[in-house]
Amino acid sequence: MKPSSSLPLKNHNIPMKKIINKILVTGGLFCLLGITSCTKELNQQPITSKSLTNFLTTETEVEEYVNAVYGTLQLNGLYGLYLPAIGEIPSDNTFDEVPANDSGMYGQLDQFTTVASNGMLSDLWKNSYQGIQRANTVLNRIDGIPYASAATKQARKGEMHFVRALLYFNMVRVFGDVPLVIKETTNPNEFFGQGRTNKDLVYAQIISDLTNAIQELPASTTTSGKAVKTAAQSLIGKVYLTLGKFAESKAVLADVVASGRHQLLAEPADIFALTNKNNNEIIFAVQFASGINGNSEGSSAYQQFSPSGTISGAKGHNLPTKSFYQLYSASDKRKTAYVGLTSAGTPFSTKLKASATTPVDGGSNFVVLRYADVLLMLAEDENELGNTETAKTYLNLVRRRAGLADATQQSQVDVRDAITLERRLELIGEGHRWFDLLRTGTAVSVMNAWFASQNITTRITNRDLLQPIPQDQIDTDPAIKQNP
């Protein structure tokens, strides 16, 4: 290209003043634009999330928050995966097939080598408080929000009281003293330095919440999975039992029986069938379903608790021990209804069913409270109160359903042992055994005897009864002190 010869420029005879005016006008225009429209643009609201500032103002929105409180129960740290194992794997009922898997966190609980950085405990702690805080938020706000039906509003308050009590009850059994928080968080910094609350105070709050829940909850619900009055009664019955208040426990559990809302199903195999979820025997179960919401409503417990090599990703965490399996008599229907055997002879719980979609999307509900548990608790209450025969009537209801003859034990001690055994056989895989050992004060003796019988060198002391406080909590706030 040749350089283009320059054309003479047009002469700009615009007076300077005019130019300056032009600049000022244009400049002014820009500034104006800046101040008005652009300043408004600085206020941007979330588009694909809701903001708590203007959320939770209507009934519909409170209902969404309530659903999220229940949704919290599905998390891994709670009933999605870890809590069932935390409640059973330390006991003689179940064990971890390969203790080294998943950074050894199941194996540590199984073998009493738990370190404070154990991920299961860390998640249990965090998820419990998430649920508690969400329940606190609903309870804090719901009174000011109009509901079409006063009864619905009251039911929701009861549900929140129930869930909060349930979460605290688990925490206090696993960790002992835990921080008690019953108000909505406005400034999270306020919790620095709070430290752990004496467990007696936590229990008092649990009883208070459940007492409220019993008043507030309806006898039944059309939305299966939501807490009902008998759930609160059953739970407080368990709390009283744990505290050794057998009379109080008996009274409230008797109300559950008297309500007529629940019954034992005829066949043990039907209780956990996927086609028979939320049947009459179930009092409260955390709900899961396969193939819903992009496979996000299932649980991976079935996969994780299946013997390794049986299905993809199976790790054999929390398998029934062989010695436990041998406790079933040949005629016990539960031997096949509740427990399966791999081709290699490894027992596994069949209370969690295979997923219809992917292994991590198991559709079995996790049963927290069911009628058989209530009957066995009542039996225990009656036996501890000296009513051995009444105790046996409750015990026999469970035995008969299993196809067994009535109990023949006579003494309080023998009946106690019979109830204990029946609880193990009936409630295997439901996360109760370790807590039962704890509340009956038999954990140390039973476990050491069991270890000896299994030729395992481990021995425990009272120090092993509480789990360590998660190290991340102590690292965050040293006011949270470790268990001794």
Partner 1 sequence: MNVPLNGIKGRYCLIFNHIMQTNKLKKTIRKFKCFAAFALLIMITHAVYAQQNTSVKGTVVDEKGATLPGVSVMMVDQTTKKQESTVTDLKGIFVFNNVKIGNRYDFSFNYVGYEKKTSPAFLINPGTNNSILIRMETSSSGLNDVVVVGYGSQRKTKITGAISQVKSEELNKYAGSNFAQQLAGKAAGVVINDASAQPGTDPQIVIRGIGTLTAGVSPLVVVDGFPLSEGSSLNTVNPQDIETIDILKDPASAAIYGSRAANGVILITTKNGRSDKNTVSFDFYTGAQVRADKVDLVDGYQFAQLNTEARDWGYVSRNPTSRSISDDYATRVSKGANKRDLRLNYIQPYLNNQPGLTNTDWLDEIFRTAPISSYNVAVSGGNDKSKYYFSGNYFDQDGIVIETGLKRYSMSFKFDSKLSKSFDVGLSINPSYNRQKFFQNDASRSSDAIGAALIMYPFFPARNNDGSLAISQQITANTPEDGALGENPVAIMEKTKYNKNLFRTFGNAYLNFKPITGLTFKSLLGGDYSNSFIDFFTPSDVGEYRTAAPKPARTSETNGSVINYLWENTLTFEKTFGKHDINVLAGTTFQKESGNNTLVSGTGIPDNNIDNIAGASSFSVVPQRYVWTQLSYLTRLQYAYANKYLFSAAIRRDGSSRFGQDAKWGNFPSVTGGWIVSREDFFPKVNWIDLLKFRATYGKAGNNQIGNYSSYALANPLSYVSGSTLLPGFAAVNPANSTLSWETKTSYNFGMDLGLFKVLNLSANYYSMVTSDLLLQVPVPSQSGYDSALQNVGRASNKGLELELSGTNIKLGPLSWNFGANIASNKNKVLELGPGQNQIVTGTNSAFRTKVGGPIAELYGYNVTGVYKNQSEIDNSPHVAGALLGDYIVQDVNGDGKITPDDRMGFGTYAPKITYGFNSSLAYKSFELSFSINGIWGRKIYDNGLVNMESGEGFSMADTYYYENRYHPVNNPNGFLAQPNTNYSANRLNTNASNIFFQKADYIRLRNVQLTYNLSSKLLSKLKVSRASVYVTGNNLLTVTNFRGFNPDATSDNVLTSGYSNSNYPVARSFVAGFNLTF
Site residues for partner 1, 196-225, by CB under 8 A, read 223-225
Q: Which is nearer to partner 1, 55 or 267 (CB)?
A: 55
Which residue from 1, 150, 258, 330 is in contact with partner 1, where contact means CB under 8 A?
1
Among 79, 82, 106, 125, contact with partner 1 (rule: CB under 8 A): 125
Nearer to partner 1, 70 or 394 (CB): 70
- CB nearer to partner 1: give 64 or 267: 64
Residue 437 CA to residue 458 CA, distance in Å, equals: 17
Query: Which of 421, 426, 468, 467 is closest to 440 using CA atoms?
Result: 421
CA distances from 299 to 217, 350, 360, 365, 407 (A): 27, 14, 6, 8, 37
Give dist(CA 124, CA 130) in Å, integer. 10
Stretch that binds partner 1, among 79-87, 210-218, 227-235, 465-473 (CB under 8 A): 465-473
For residue 408, state whether it binds partner 1 (rule: CB under 8 A).
no
| 309-328 residues near partner 1, rule: CB under 8 A | 309, 312-316
Query: Is there a contact between 247 and 375 (Cβ–Cβ < 8 Å)?
Result: no
Is 249 or 355 the residue whose CB approaches partner 1 more closely? 355
Neighbours of 39 (CB within 10 A): 10
Cβ nearer to partner 1, comparing 72 with 349: 72
Q: Least distance to partner 1 from the beta carbon of 426, Å?
A: 25
Among positions 175, 284, 288, 305, the unique one binding partner 1 when judged by CB under 8 A: 288
Among 57, 58, 113, 208, binds partner 1 (CB under 8 A): 113
DSSP for 396-425, please give it: HHHHHHTT-PPP---SHHHHHHHHHHHHHH
Residue 58 tokens read as: 């209507």
Q: How many angstroms separate the CA atoms of 161 and 133, rounded?
A: 12
Please give the residues from 423 up to 462 whose contact with partner 1 meets the rule CB under 8 A. 454-457
From the CB of 423, what's the least distance to partner 1, in Å? 25
Q: Which residues, numbered 247-286, are part of the site for partner 1 (CB under 8 A)?
A: 277-278
Distance in angstroms (rounded) separating the CA atoms of residues 416 and 391: 9
CB of 235 to partner 1, least distance (A): 19
- Min dist. Cβ of residue 372 to partner 1 (A): 22
Distance CA 74, CA 418 (A): 33
Provide the minimum distance between the beta carbon of 106 and partner 1 in the complex, in angstroms, as a whole number.
12
Query: Which CB sits closer to partner 1, 103 or 445?
Result: 103
Q: How far is CA 155 from the centre of its chain?
A: 20
Give one word for 94, left, alpha or beta, with left for phi > 0 and alpha for psi -120 to 50.
Answer: beta
Binder among 276, 358, 412, 483 for partner 1 (CB under 8 A): 358
Stretch that binds partner 1, among 180-188, 228-236, 396-404, 440-448 (CB under 8 A): 180-188
Place of tokens 């050894």: 104
115 to 109, 138, 232, 482: CA distances (angstroms)? 9, 35, 34, 11
By CB under 8 A, the residues from 40 to 69 that bind partner 1 are 41-53, 55, 61, 64-69
In the complex, what is the shortest distance from the CB of residue 305 to partner 1, in angstroms, rounded to a whole number? 14
Task: Take residue 324 and report the two structure tokens written for it.
Answer: 């436990």
Residues 9-28 that bind partner 1 (CB under 8 A): 9-10, 12, 16, 19-20, 22-23, 26-27
For the purposes of burial, counting CB atoms within 10 Å of the CB of 139, is it exposed (0-12), middle (13-18) or buried (19 or more)? buried
Is residue 80 involved in binding partner 1 (CB under 8 A)?
no
Shorter beta-carbon distance to partner 1: residue 156 or 238:
156
Could you tell me the smallest distance in angstroms from the CB atom of residue 473 to partner 1?
6
Q: Are 173 and 436 in contact (CB under 8 A)?
A: no
Is 444 within 8 Å of 461 (Cβ atoms)? yes
Binding pattern for the stretch 25-44 against partner 1, x by CB under 8 A and - elsewhere? -xx--xx-xx---xx-xxxx
Contacting residue, 198, 263, 357, 445, with partner 1 by CB under 8 A:
357
User: Residue 263: left if φ>0, alpha if ψ -120 to 50, beta else—which one?
Assistant: beta
- Distance, in Å, from the CA atom of 336 to the CA atom of 267, rounded to the nearest integer, reads 12
Draw the binding track, 84-103, toward partner 1 (x: CB under 8 A; -: no contact).
-------------xxxxx-x
Phi, psi of 481 (to 5 degrees): -95, 145
Which residue from 186, 343, 408, 461 is in contact with partner 1, where contact means CB under 8 A?
Answer: 186
